[in-house]
Amino acid sequence: MARQRSEGRSPTQPHDPLGATPGFLGIGRRPTRREWRRTIIGAVLLLGVLAFFIFFVHPSAHLLDTGTAAPAVSLPDAEGRVQAAVPAPGQASVVLVFIETGCMTCQEKSSALCDLAAAHRDVQFVAVDSGEKSSAEAQRYARHNLAGCAVTVLLDADLAVTRGYLVAAVPTTYVVDSSGKISYSGVGAAGIDGLALHLPGAHA
């Protein structure tokens, strides 16, 4: 007597104890171990690529071009006194560093900024606190990070100056020369590190 075929499976279909059929990660069915492995490996590789771009590949920021006229900077300090930084009194060069009080890089590079201010007494150093509305917070930042420094902290509460200088990340650094034009710009820790070669009297 001929043996009957098992119901529900044609003789040309391979036996799958999980009842798997071709598809993506078991949509509509239970996924196979091979599909799980492929999905996990793909996810790990994707996360690795994303992490690489986040930590090592930074799109170049679009800043004001060298040689362009610097927008005026007239802002209140932490005590509420309005100070004109650009154009500078006496046509001095000005270093503008746009910061935020919670920025770790700004805090870490504050000592380097202080050292530069001490070495270049003929240059005005200004830290523009972007978006900080609390003078108490700005005072706390200056007390903890810029104590004894020849660096003036100004508050840009409405971000008008920050937008005028095309600041998209902090710290962003500019040098405005004695003619009132941009002579240097940079972003991040590297922007502050590059100051030394672009201040009056510096030699490359």
Task: Give residue-wise pLDDT tens across range 105-117.
Answer: 999 999 999 999 9
Domain ranges for the chain, please list them: 14-57, 73-198
Residue 116 identity = L
Report pTM. 0.70
As a 3-state breakdown, the chain gives helix, strand, coil percent values, each rounded to 5, of 35, 20, 45
* Residue 191 host element (H or E): helix 188-193
Through-space distance between the first and last CA atoms of the chain, rounded to whole angstroms: 98
CA distances, 45 to each of 25, 34, 42 (Å): 17, 17, 5
Pairing, β 172-176 against β 94-99: antiparallel
Task: Give residue-wise pLDDT tens across range 37-52.
Answer: 888 898 888 888 776 6
Average pLDDT in the 100-106 region? 94
Lowest mean pLDDT among 18-27, 115-124, 162-171, 182-191: 18-27
- The predicted structure's pLDDT at residue 53: 55
Domain boundaries 73-198, CATH class: alpha beta
Strands (E), the chain: 73-76, 82-86, 94-99, 124-130, 151-156, 172-176, 182-187
- The predicted structure's pLDDT at residue 108: 96
The proportion of the chain whose per-residue pLDDT surpasses 70, expressed as a percent, equals 78
Average pLDDT in the 129-145 region? 89
- The predicted structure's pLDDT at residue 75: 96
- The predicted structure's pLDDT at residue 186: 96
